[in-house]
Amino acid sequence: MTPKANIPDALDALSEHWSQKTLAEANGNLFKVAKGLGATHWHKHENQDELFIIYEGRMRIEMRDRNIELGVGDIFTVPRGVEHRPVADDEVKFLVVGLNITSTKAGGKPNL
């Protein structure tokens, strides 16, 4: 059983942008908190969708054919295999849900 987690506390504890911390797992999905500033590398996830829930701030999900603007309370799923990159002009705090979303360079994390 996963211990109880507090989303605001977990977000405040993050020290690195575009890194993710797993808070819970249910039905094979990981529920992670993250915060971002700037942009990740263009990337795609071949074997899973990636779901974003905005907790604080704004973020744009850029895809090759369109951009999706997200604000507090918004939820958006990037379908598997779709090349994308999250962009935040100011710091954004969000949740990510997926099977095993990565926060490595291959998963889009920028060089720091």
7-107: which CATH topology? Answer: Jelly Rolls (2.60.120)
pLDDT of residue 72: 98
| Per-residue pLDDT tens over the stretch 15-72 | 999 989 999 999 889 999 999 999 999 999 888 899 999 999 999 999 999 999 999 9
| Strand ranges, E, within 1-112 | 20-26, 29-39, 50-56, 59-63, 67-70, 75-78, 84-98
- pTM (predicted TM-score): 0.88
Please work out, in degrees rounded to the nearest 5, the angle formed at the alpha carbon of residue 111 by the alpha carbons of 109 and 112.
Answer: 105
pLDDT of residue 70: 98
